[in-house]
């Protein structure tokens, strides 16, 4: 099915470990995003990519890096995980044609840092 695919779905890391969250979309969308969701704080934008080859910081970029590998894929890397990065991470892509104006979200990655 067309959509946004995130891997892994669950992950437990020890403080200081690194990992990469993968995201791929097959809808030919130009823009892609990484959000984190924490209780009582809604979704906060970490990084976004308006097009292949470009990335920009969002509200909470510290401790993260991203790569827009190609039009389909947008990965999020934690170089040295901290307990404060325990969260649910959502990738999204967007299409700005009138009929499909909006975001499509992936199913999320639940990350726990111990």
Partner 1 sequence: AQSVSQHNHHVILSEAASLELGCNYSYGGTVNLFWYVQYPGQHLQLLLKYFSGDPLVKGIKGFEAEFIKSKFSFNLRKPSVQWSDTAEYFCAVMGDTDKLIFGTGTRLQVFP
Q: By the criterion CB under 8 A, which residues form the site for partner 1?
A: 31, 33, 35, 40-45, 48, 50, 58, 90, 94, 96, 101-103, 105-108
Report the residue number, 1 or 14, with the smaller CB distance to partner 1: 1
Q: Choose between 79 and 96: whose C-beta lies nearer to partner 1.
A: 96
Residue 48 tokens, joined: 């976004």
Cβ closest to partner 1, residue 14 vs residue 99:
99
CB of 17 to partner 1, least distance (A): 25
Radius of gyration of the chain (CA): 13
Per-residue b or e along 24-37, where b marks 16 or more CB atoms closer than 10 Å to that residue's CB: bbeeebebbbbbbe
**Which structure tokens are listed for 24?**
């791929």
């Amino acid at each position: 099915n067309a959509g946004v695919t995130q891997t892994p779905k669950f992950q437990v890391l020890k403080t200081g470990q690194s990992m990469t969250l993968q995201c791929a979309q097959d809808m030919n969308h130009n823009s892609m995003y990484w959000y984190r969701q924490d209780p009582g704080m809604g979704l906060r934008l970490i990084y976004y990519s308006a097009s292949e080859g470009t990335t920009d910081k969002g509200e909470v970029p510290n401790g993260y890096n991203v790569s827009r590998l190609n039009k389909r894929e947008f990965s999020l890397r934690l170089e040295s995980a901290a307990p404060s990065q325990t969260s649910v991470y959502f990738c999204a892509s967007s299409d700005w044609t009138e009929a499909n104006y909006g975001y499509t979200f992936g199913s999320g990655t639940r990350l726990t840092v111990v």
